[in-house]
Amino acid sequence: MSTVLNDLTNAAERAAIQKLAAALTLPCFDGGWVWLAGAGPGDPGLITALGLAAIANADAILYDALVNETLLKLARPCAELLFAGKRAGKRSCRQSDISRTLVSLAKRGKRVLRLKGGDPLVFGRGAEEALTLAREGVPFRIVPGITAGIGGLAYAGIPATHRDTNHVLTFVTGHGADGKLPDLDWAAIARGSPTLVLYMARKHAGEIAARLIAGGRDADEPAAIVSNASLSDQSTVTTTLSGLGQAAMHGTAPAILVIGENVALREHMDWLGAMSGRVLAPPRARVANAS
């Protein structure tokens, strides 16, 4: 884990955050506590007010690779900033080292912020850290964040649910603990959820699509790959379920894969594209419905 000190002069910004925290009567961040917070999918504007206050008050911040480092400019001067992710092909820090560091900093009376991309409890190993803290008797608070599977879809103009397309939404990881395709009942998933949102699924996208088609899904169903969602280099590729594996092979950026008829609504709802000139197709008028 590499450590740097924040030496930025940001007194005015931090004072503004303290005012905001007082206006919203946010809870105090006391010494000896760990706050396990989500930073959102990328756009720094998507962090919560509580997450922002935690950054401005923490003595130590352990952050992951998917956290937007712009947010760290709001940390206290002399806050310890510890990078706990995977960088430039190097292996990520061991989970046990991260948990041990959280416990030891908290036991030294520090205000410790564990900052993770998206939501800390969605495919982020936040529960493992919370369980270690609970075992060690370290008090903690969990600050939810906007998970990439929700925020990323919104930034791609794809509704997570829509009453004409899906009443069910399923989040799936495409990456088991051993790096292999998770051993799931893919046929049941294919039948059970009209919309699937896949995390960490680039590598096994082709195999997942094949299993879903074998489980009864239409090979021509709309699908999309949203990479670097909510960041300035966000890209969205639309394809079909049968084309998903091939499309996912292009690129290495973090990506959310989404499968379902709701993907087709992007044609009307790509608000980000519209900001840079895309002409959105007008949706057909809804037929009046008595129910």
DSSP string, the chain: -EEEE-----HHHHHHHHHHHHHTTPPP--TT-EEEEE-BSS-GGGS-HHHHHHHHH-SEEEE-TTS-GGGGGGSPTT-EEEE-S--TTPPPPPHHHHHHHHHHHHHTT--EEEEESB-TTSSSSHHHHHHHHHHHT--EEEE----HHHHHHHHTT--S-BTTTBS-EEEEES--TTSSPP---HHHHHHH-SEEEEES-TTTHHHHHHHHHHTT--TT-EEEEEESTTSTT-EEEEEEGGGHHHHHTS--S-EEEEESGGGGGHHHH-HHHHHTTPPPPPPPPPPP---
- The size of the interface with ligand SAH (CB under 6 A), counted in residues, is 24
64 is catalytic: yes
Based on the shown chain and the rule CB under 6 A, indicate whether residue 42 belongs to the binding site for ligand SAH. yes
Ranked by CB distance to ligand SAH, the top (closest) residue is 118
Based on the shown chain and the rule CB under 6 A, indicate whether residue 158 belongs to the binding site for ligand SAH. no
Instruction: Tell which one of 51, 118, 157, 260 touches ligand SAH (CB under 6 A).
Output: 118
Instruction: Tell which one of 53, 200, 205, 237 touches ligand SAH (CB under 6 A).
Output: 200
Based on the shown chain and the rule CB under 6 A, indicate whether residue 51 belongs to the binding site for ligand SAH. no
Based on the shown chain and the rule CB under 6 A, indicate whether residue 116 belongs to the binding site for ligand SAH. yes
Q: Which of 73, 86, 107, 180 is catalytic?
A: 86
Residues of span 52-71 touching ligand SAH by CB under 6 A: 66
Instruction: Tell which one of 18, 123, 136, 170 touches ligand SAH (CB under 6 A).
Output: 123
183 is catalytic: no
User: Using CB under 6 A, which of the segments 19-27, 222-230, 260-268, 271-279 binds ligand SAH?
Assistant: 222-230
Tokens (6 digits) for 227 = 């990479």
Asked whether the CA dihedral 274, 269, 267, 215 is positive or negative, the reply is: positive
Q: Which of 43, 116, 200, 270 is catalytic?
A: 200
User: Using CB under 6 A, which of the segments 105-113, 132-140, 146-154, 213-221 binds ligand SAH?
Assistant: 146-154
User: Using CB under 6 A, which of the segments 3-11, 160-168, 221-229, 259-267 binds ligand SAH?
Assistant: 221-229
- Comparing CB distances to ligand SAH, the nearer of 144 and 222 is 144
164 is catalytic: no
Positions that interact with ligand SAH (CB under 6 A): 41-42, 66, 116-119, 122-124, 147-148, 152, 199-200, 226-231, 254-256
The residues assigned a catalytic role are: 64, 86, 200
